Amino acid sequence: MNIQKLFTDKDKKAVADALISVEAVTSGEIVPVVTEESGHYKSVELWFSVAIAYCAALAAYAGLVIFADKLSLYLPVHEQWLLLSIHIIGFACGLLLMRISRLKSLFIFKRLSEKRVYDAALLAFYEQGLYKTRDRTGILIYVSLLERRVLVLGDTGINEKVKQEQWDGVVKLIVDGIRNGNIAQGIIAGILSCKEMLTTHFPVKPDDTNELKDDLVIR
């Protein structure tokens, strides 16, 4: 997946404009981050490929047993070498199949994906400097495509005023956008929803400054 292709220049500008509109009326700082995956899941890839290899070898062995008389005349190599070759080919095919994100996501345990996404989102929160805002009003919107998960993390100043149910509403807007095939519009809807909450609890102050970049972070 080429994640950059999901967003046109127009999409990126629309997201930036939404972020700027937030800072025009509130002291909140929002950073949206979209990533292809929050973990590499090498163990999932390995076990899937091993399973495919053994299934392919088992099917080949069953065929050799059932059609032994007919196949013996046409096999150019000994049976054990044929099975080994099929085993290797099956393993390679498994690795190739795991490059399909939609398929790979089906074999990742929910608890594991939740932990990986949360850990990656927390790291992104600190990497983007959201903990440095003067009034602790940073908000991270984190979208992880492989795991199909969206998280919204607010700093301490925000979470004192905003309830989890409100964050869940923001997540739903973004997820709806993704399901409708327009991830950029989903993110924009989430940003504007945050804007409404922030305007109520954290109106802009005369000495407010732009503490973070108004960009969509793609990685």
Q: pLDDT (tens digit, 0 to 9) for every residue of the chain, 219 residues total?
A: 678 788 999 999 999 999 999 888 988 899 999 999 998 888 888 988 999 988 988 887 777 667 666 655 555 556 666 778 888 898 899 899 888 877 888 888 888 999 999 999 999 999 999 998 888 989 999 999 999 999 999 999 888 888 889 999 999 999 999 999 899 999 999 999 998 888 888 888 887 777 788 899 998
- The β-bridge relationship of strands 138-144 and 29-35 is parallel
- The whole-model pTM stands at 0.82
Domains of the chain: 3-39+109-218 (3.10.310.50), 42-105 (no CATH)
Q: Do residues 110 and 66 lie in contact, with contact meaning Cβ atoms separated by under 8 Å?
A: no
What's at 140, amino acid-wise? L
Which residue matches tokens 């890839």? Answer: 45
Closest CA to 136 of 170, 162, 173: 162
HSE, side-chain direction, 13 A CA sphere, residue 155: 23
- Distance between CA 156 and CA 178 in Å, rounded? 28
Percent of the chain with pLDDT over 70: 91
Q: pLDDT of 58-99, one tens digit each?
A: 887 777 667 666 655 555 556 666 778 888 898 899 899 888
